Amino acid sequence: MRPRERLTRDPIRMERRNVSIVFVMIDGLGDLTQTDNKTLLQRAHIPAMDRLARLGHCGLMDPVEPGLACGSDTAHLSIFGYDPRIYYTGRGAFEAIGAGAEMYPGDIAFKSNFATMTGDVVSLRRCDRKFPSWGIPLCRFLTENIKLSDPSVSVIVEWATEHRCAVILRGKNLTEKITGTDPLKDELSLIRSEPLDDSAEAARTAQLVNETSKKITALLESHELILERKAQGSPYSNVILLRGPAMMSKVPSFHDRHGFKAFMIAPTAIISGIGHTLGMSNLSF
């Protein structure tokens, strides 16, 4: 696309003209820290980004509405043209899909952290940024060994990014109308999952989530790798924090909504999961 070419706002006409657009979104780039009256971004040497800015179109926007602080998932949905108040059900399903896990109707997924608990307190919500080399086998181990009191419900643990994983509960009569177990800050107690409505499904799902959390901790604390890392004084995990319970979102594809065929290069599982959910071809790294 030539730098100064003006684009029609009609997506169908744009597709017929075979227009190609590269849309670069740098999540979390905002920077208020100043040195000599300049932010760190203003002082940085970023010739590639500077060239993209010169040749393209830049702007500022409130992803959903002014004054509303958004997470990466709700902000991305809104920027892609999907009102999160209509289409957003929680981030767990995005994390699971982006991690490569299969999600089926009725599954409940959590965006989760391998973490460290000391006594009843979560001392480290992120056990180790260099987690994959020793954590990925733990995901397979947990998937193979978690057995709940209700044999009709299974648990799948899929590694996502760094210390993050997706935890999926698969079975009938489950609901995302529950709370997670993540206290959201270090040095706080692990939270019990609670139902968010009076339904039997919510009460049952919350009970299964709490059982899953306990089974995970018991399995991790007795695992040879964890015992070895504790003895070495290395980072270890003995709990998985479960947050953002969600079922699959039912959304029209990006192509159906806007008339474009889209391809996404995603840096994290959750953004990759949003792309897959919107029907985009996807490459994650």
HEC assignment per residue over 153-197: CEEEEEECCCCEEEEEEECCCCCCCECCCCCCCCCEECCCCCECC
- Lowest mean per-residue pLDDT among 81-95, 98-112, 125-139: 125-139
pLDDT score at 5: 42
Lowest model confidence (mean pLDDT) among 61-75, 116-130, 179-193: 61-75
Q: What is the arithmetic mean of pLDDT over 10-21?
A: 58
> Which of 144-153, 192-201, 247-256 shows the lowest mean pLDDT across its residues?
247-256
Residue 138 lies in a domain: yes
Say if 211 falls within a structural domain: yes
38/36 Cα distance (integer angstroms): 6
- Residue range 218-242: mean pLDDT, rounded: 93
d(CA 35, CA 30): 15
Q: Is residue 26 part of a domain?
A: no
Whether the pTM exceeds 0.75: the reply is: yes
Number of domains the chain is built from = 1
97 domain residue, yes or no: yes
**Please, are residues 122 and 186 in contact by the beta-carbon 8 Å criterion?**
yes
pLDDT of residue 135: 82
Report, as an integer, the average pLDDT of 3-19: 49
76 or 128, greater pLDDT: 76
- Please check the confidence at residue 261 and state whether its pLDDT lies above 70: yes
Residue 71 counted as domain residue:
no
Q: What is the mean pLDDT of the chain?
A: 87
Asked if pLDDT for residue 95 goes beyond 80, the answer is yes
Rounded CA separation 230/223 (Å): 11
d(CA 285, CA 192): 33
Domain ranges, residue 124 = 92-246
Locate 172 and state its tokens: 């009938």
What are the structure tokens assigned to 38, written together?
Answer: 């300049």
Dist. CA 212–CA 110, nearest whole Å: 12
Compute the distance between CA of residue 228 and CA of residue 209 in angstroms, rounded to an integer.
Answer: 28
Could you tell me if residue 129 is inside a domain?
yes
Q: SS3 of 237, please?
A: coil
pLDDT average, residue stretch 126-154: 90
Q: Is residue 47 part of a domain?
A: no
The answer on pLDDT for 152 being more than 80 is yes
Residue 144: pLDDT band by 50, 70, 90 thresholds? very high
18 falls in which pLDDT band (50, 70, 90)?
low
Q: What mean pLDDT comes out for the span 145-171?
A: 94
